[in-house]
Structure formats: structure tokens, C-alpha cells
Amino acid sequence: MSIEEKAFNRKRFVPDSMLAFGFEKTDGAFRYEGDFMNGDFSAALTVSEKGEITGSVIDKMNCEEYRPLRSDSFQGAYVNTVRAAYEEWLGKIAAECCKDVLFSSDQANRIAERIAETFGVGSDYPWEQSQYQSYGVFRHGDNSKWFALIMNVKRQVLLKNGDGDAVDIINLKADPERISALTEQAGVYPAYHMSRKYWISVTLDGSLTDEEVMALVKDSFNLTKNNKAKKNKRRNTKMSKVLVVTSSLRAKSNSDILAERLIAGAKDAGHEVECVSLKGKTIKFCIGCFACQKTKKCLQKDDAVEIAEKMKNADTLVFVTPIYYYEMSGQMKTLLDRMNPLYSSDYSFRKVYMLSVAADDAKTTPEKAVNGLQGWIDCFEKARLCGSLFFGGIDGAGEAANRKEALDEAYEFGKALA
Ligand SMILES: Cc1cc2nc3c(=O)[nH]c(=O)nc-3n(C[C@H](O)[C@H](O)[C@H](O)COP(=O)(O)O)c2cc1C
């Protein structure tokens, strides 16, 4: 993405506002010129009729295009100052001349509008990580189940020989018997990030007409709606069956100490809570044999089998991990891999939470761990990540016991579990 594309991502130019701002219209294109960095640089922005945006930055010292601006290999203090000043200049134009739109492509925005008109629902954005923040989920009003997910991805995730260009796609549930025929059409692919057995990805780049996309959205809506009047009794009441899985193996574990407070809060809120610690457990690595997808059981007989059963039957899962190398602990990842038998099972869990602890107190410390867990959750289409609690600046064994604020926060988090 160019600097200009980034500045105007999810924005659409409004011609009247552009003219009022000072853009000139010639040969169907809008053009605006101005200076920045106290007049050391001049910039020109052109917006074509189709909305293509191009920019040019001239260094007034030599009246030449300032090329370092667009090269990642130039990262000196001066070039970064010029970049920041140019981005600020573009930002002002965006604020005055554009309106915000939900998704990158026009077709994605039209489909979002049609979904709102047809089903009366808008999208929500459940991911916290910056690269997924714009992914919009469309859910049924009555049971929160997803029926569509719009994402902006690189084409190479859909096609082995696809390029690195970004494209908006919509993930939709489809009749498994129709999936192979559907994916023969241009613009329809096996699902990215969802079960390929039940879901497809459709590019929102005009390969299919809006009507064709909406027909698939309607199918997805019908296939995902809850036809059973019978609902889990526990879900109708406020009480949930909560399983907390702690993964630190050390004595006086900080994450265990905080998990205890979370559990106390959850119990006080009326939930039925069970805690499984991975301390002393034997959990071998997944060997990738896929036998579990046929038998729903793992061939390896160790402690993961019992934990899988407990996870399957819980309504709510809470994973507790120390941060190791800016990721979840290896023992937690090994456990998640071994939960592969649940993938094809009638699992009960719908809500997943995470509690993590690290020495580093930067806000970004748990991002990769949360991301990793999100990857796992994404494969369980009925479940979603409902919250993540991170405590930084806690390192020495047992240190968490002296952190009253953290203990209270963990308790309140447990109390608020759904
Ligand atoms: C192998 C290993 C890797 C670690 N990596 C990180 C890290 O990347 N960032 C960080 O802030 N802390 C890191 N830590 C520190 C732990 O996250 C920290 O001590 C935490 O309080 C441990 O929680 P626990 O007592 O529940 O095991 C690491 C600790 C270990 C043992």
C-alpha cells in the first residue's frame, strides 16, 4: 500500500468537500497542491474519477521528486520527519474531504448495506489486534452466531500462485455438497480461516455481482440460524460452566495466583468453575495423523484426553498463560494442538477468555499470544474470544501476590465472565 492509499484507506472522497477545500477538477480528475514542512517540500495529490489516488512530493531544494519518502530502506531521522509531515498533510485532506466507510472495497460496503437492509444487522469488530481490527463479523440477532465475515486479505491466502495484493473477501457458510461446484466459479474459493468443509470465501472485487453475493449471504444466513427452540438450559440462566486452564509449570506461579482471583470472582458471580493446571500433566505433541477427525479421539493416551473432554463440555474457557518469548507458553500451545479431536465434535464452549502475565509491561506484550489463541478459536466457528486480560511488570515467582490492583482486577474480570 502506498502512503496515500494508507492515508485514505476506508475513506471515500466527497467531491463538494474537495472543491470547497481547494481541489481543482481538470480532465475528470481532482488535483490539489500545497506545501509542507515550512515550505521545504511541495506536494500534489490527484484523485481520478475511479477514486485512484496518486501523490507526488517535490524537494524544493532541487525541484526533484523526493524518492527516499517511498523507500523502506531509507529510515533516517530526516526522511522519517518528512514522511510524518507528509502523512499529516494527507491526514488534513482526509479529515476535510472524505467520509469514512466500513470496508476497503466499494462492493464490500454495498454488501454491508444490503445485509443491514435485508437482515437488520450491522457488523461488529471483535478483534483487538491492529491487523484484524477492520475484520467485520455479521451475526444473527438471537444467538450471536456468525453468518458472514468480511476481511481484507492478500490474494495469496486464497490462491497458491496469488499475488500479495490486498482484496476484500466475505466468508459464508454453504451447503457442503455445493462447495466444490461453487468454488469452480471465478471469485469463489475454499474458506480462508474457517472450516473449508462448510464455508467459502468470495472476493468482493466484482467477480460476482452484488445479487449473486447476496444470494450466497442468504444461504449462509439460513444455514447458520438456530432452528432448535431447545436451548441449553444453562445458557438461558446466567450461570455458565467455566473451565480455567492454567499453563505455568512453576511453583508460586504469578498467572496461577491471578487465576485464583479470577476463579473467586467467577464463583461469586454464580458460575460453576473447574480449574485444570498443566503442572505434572503429560501432554505429548500432536503428531498430525488426523485419526481424530474420523474417530473424534486422539490415538495418544495421555492427560490431554481428559482435558479435551472437560473443554468439550464447558460453556466458557479461560486460558491462563505466562508470556514466553512474546507468545503463549509452549505447554499451552501444545495443549491447543492436542484439542484437534474437538474440531469435528459437538463442543459446547462458546466463549473464550485469556489471562496472561509477563515481565514486560508494554501494552503490546501479549498481542502475539492473543493472536495465537484467536487462530485456534477461529477454527471453532461457534466460539469467540470475549476478552483478554494482561498483567505486565510481574516477573519473580509469587510477585503477583503483592499486586493488589492486579488481584482485584482479576477478581472483577472473573465476576464479569459470561
Ligand atoms: C522461557 C521464558 C520466556 C519468557 N519470555 C518473556 C517475554 O518474552 N516477555 C516477558 O515480558 N516476559 C517473559 N518471561 C517472563 C515471564 O512471563 C514472567 O516471569 C511471568 O511472571 C511468569 O509467569 P508465571 O509465574 O505464571 O510462570 C519469560 C519467562 C520464561 C521462563
Q: Tens digits of per-residue pLDDT, 79-120?
A: 999 999 999 999 999 999 998 888 888 899 999 999 999 999
Which residue CA neighbors atom 23 of ligand 1 most closely?
Answer: 322
Q: What is the pLDDT of residue 130?
A: 55
- 15 shares its domain with 160: no
Range of the domain at 92: 3-100
Per-residue cell: 274? 473447574
- 121 shares its domain with 204: yes
pTM: 0.52
Question: How many other C-beta atoms can be found within 10 angstroms of the C-beta atom of residue 362?
Answer: 12
Per-residue cell: 19? 472543491
- 124 shares its domain with 91: no
Given a cut of 90, is residue 1 above it in pLDDT?
A: no
- 278 shares its domain with 179: no
How far is the CA of 326 from the CAs of 136, 390, 397, in angstroms? 27, 12, 18
The pLDDT tens digits for 44-68 are 999 988 778 999 999 999 999 999 9
CA–CA dist 369, 322 (Å, integer): 10
Q: What is the pLDDT of residue 233?
A: 46
**145, 226 Cβ separation under 8 angstroms:** yes
In this structure, is residue 232 part of a structural domain? no
**CA 282, chain centre distance (Å):** 32
**283, 303 Cβ separation under 8 angstroms:** yes
250, 275, 325: residue to mutate for ligand 1 pocket, most atoms within 8 A of CB: 325
**165, 155 Cβ separation under 8 angstroms:** yes
Which residue CA neighbors atom 19 of ligand 1 most closely?
Answer: 395
Sequence-distant (≥ 6) Cβ neighbours of residue 334 within 8 angstroms: 283, 284, 285, 286
Listed residues 77, 100, 123: the one ending a domain: 100
Given a cut of 70, is residue 230 above it in pLDDT?
A: no
**103, 136 Cβ separation under 8 angstroms:** yes
Q: What is the pLDDT of residue 228?
A: 57
DSSP for residue 393: S
- 95 shares its domain with 115: no
Angle formed by the axes of helices 330-338 and 367-378, nearest 10°: 0
Number of structural domains (the chain) is: 3
Query: How many A from CA of 369 to the centre of ligand 1?
Result: 12
How far is the CA of 392 from the CAs of 116, 191, 263, in angstroms? 40, 36, 20
Query: How many A from CA of 358 to the centre of ligand 1?
Result: 5
